[in-house]
Amino acid sequence: MSEIEARRLKAEEVGHEKLILNLGPQHPSTHGVLRVITTLEGERITEAEPDIGFLHRNFEKIVEGWTWSQVIPLTDRNDYLANINNEHAYVLAVEKLAGIEVPERAEYIRVIMSELNRIASHLLTFGTFAMDMGAFTPFLYGFRERELLYDIFEKVTGARMMHNYVRLSGVRNDLPDGWDKEVLEFLDRLENDVIPDYYDLLIKNPIFEARSLGVGVLTKEDAIAYGAAGPILRGSGIDWDLRRDMPYSIYDRFDFEVITREEGDHYARFMVRMDEMIESAKIIRQAFEQMPEGPVMGKVPRVLKPEGDIYSAVEGPRGEIGVYLVGDGNFKPYRVKWRAPSFSNLSILPLMAKGQFVADIVLTIGTLDPIFGEVDR
């Protein structure tokens, strides 16, 4: 039997119970470079095995050769939809380890930027989830709002995506004049026009509800056992948000709600994200009200040689972004371990995919929303 003969599909294989189907690594719905090896029985999935590592680009190894502050731009590229949150996570860890003071204004700017970035990330998730469901238009509407956010970011940081804005002991530059008005305008637009638009466009659609309600249920116990993070944890009814429960930076000064939903299905996870955008807007408004004047950069020791180890985490759009740092009293980090929320979230996929339809595993990947920059690092 020749090689080509061997590659040919066999009637026995197809007609019988099991068909092994590869989704990815190039596949429109895998949000990057995920490969899922699924075993099908008809249209039902009996087993799904994610294969990751297609974007393993050695972040943790490379940064061992770079200085403490050189690492910051590279953290942007880990979760490339939550750049500021990543920078914040890393910088916070180094600051704690080296005992660096941060001016108060810088803290507020960091919070504002982080929350804007959370909105941007959730907008994309809204779009890609709709695209997984076969509706292309909401995706472009998500991008329409993201472009406005890009403009807002660009005015402050000079970059659309990879900001490199949060620095040790502060942020790179102060906010430009009149920027706060622009942000507030954007938030008004988001709350009054955009999100109702999205409801009309997608969420109120009966097909959307039929596809997402009661599908892909993740129980509370499983969510905790797998270390799920962020909207996936909260969508399963666990009231846990690092911003409120273990406040870092200045999050204890803001009044906001932690959105939870009990159902644990696609719809719950999706709606947690939609509602979180409004909560983020609330935080940004309060931050602008409370923000003091003052410098945005503190003093960093000229020779930065922290020693010891630390685990520090922030709440990113996808959940807990944790950084474990080991410093050995040198210019460079000895070890940087990136605890990526998507990594833990994606490991639930085999459990959730079991027994689903092929069409639903696509949605499951959509609501788990893995970003492969941080899954594979």
Helix and strand numbers (H, E) in the chain are 18, 8
147-166: contacts with another protein (CB under 8 A)? 147, 150, 160-162
* Cβ neighbour number for residue 181 with a 10 Å cutoff: 10
Closest distance between another protein and the C-beta of residue 235, in Å?
A: 15
Q: Which residues pair with 338 in a beta bridge?
A: 323
Q: Name 192's Cβ contacts closer than 8 Å, sequence gap at least 6.
A: none
Closest distance between another protein and the C-beta of residue 23, in Å?
A: 8
Q: Does residue number 284 form part of the binding site for another protein (CB under 8 A)?
A: no
Q: Does residue number 14 form part of the binding site for another protein (CB under 8 A)?
A: yes
Q: Does residue number 335 form part of the binding site for another protein (CB under 8 A)?
A: yes
Q: Which two tokens stand for residue 80?
A: 């490339």
Q: Does residue number 210 form part of the binding site for another protein (CB under 8 A)?
A: yes
Closest distance between another protein and the C-beta of residue 192, in Å?
A: 18
Q: Does residue number 141 form part of the binding site for another protein (CB under 8 A)?
A: yes
What is the total count of residues that contact another protein (CB under 8 A)? Answer: 105
Report the Cα–Cα distance between both ends of the chain, in Å, rounded. 42
Q: Does residue number 4 form part of the binding site for another protein (CB under 8 A)?
A: yes
In the complex with another protein, the residue whose CB is nearer, 170 or 319, is: 319
Region label for 259, one of left (φ > 0), alpha (ψ between -120 and 50) or beta (otherwise) = beta
260-279: contacts with another protein (CB under 8 A)? none
Closest distance between another protein and the C-beta of residue 175, in Å?
A: 22
Query: What count of Cα atoms within 13 Å lies in the side-chain half-sphere of residue 25?
Result: 9
User: CA–CA separation, 117 vs 81, rounded Å?
Assistant: 8
Closest distance between another protein and the C-beta of residue 198, in Å?
A: 13
H/E segment holding residue 70: none
In the complex with another protein, the residue whose CB is nearer, 114 or 356, is: 356
Spell out the alpha helix ranges (H) of the chain.
Answer: 3-7, 11-15, 59-62, 71-76, 83-98, 104-132, 137-157, 179-189, 195-198, 206-212, 220-225, 231-235, 242-245, 266-290, 341-346, 349-353, 358-368, 372-376
Q: Does residue number 36 form part of the binding site for another protein (CB under 8 A)?
A: no
40-59: contacts with another protein (CB under 8 A)? 40, 43, 52-59
Closest distance between another protein and the C-beta of residue 292, in Å?
A: 26
Q: Does residue number 199 form part of the binding site for another protein (CB under 8 A)?
A: no
In the complex with another protein, the residue whose CB is nearer, 144 or 181, is: 144
The torsion angles phi and psi of 262, rounded to 5 degrees, stand at -85, -25
Q: Are strands 170-171 and 333-339 parallel, antiparallel or unpaired?
A: unpaired
Q: Does residue number 74 form part of the binding site for another protein (CB under 8 A)?
A: yes
In the complex with another protein, the residue whose CB is nearer, 78 or 285, is: 78
Q: Does residue number 339 form part of the binding site for another protein (CB under 8 A)?
A: yes
291-310: contacts with another protein (CB under 8 A)? 307, 309-310
266-303 burial, b at 16+ Cβ within 10 Å, e below that, comes to: bbbbbbbbbbbbbbbbbbbbbbbeebeeeebbbebeee
- Which range binds another protein by CB under 8 A, 107-115, 191-199, 240-248, 281-289? 240-248
- Which range binds another protein by CB under 8 A, 19-27, 107-115, 267-275, 286-294? 19-27
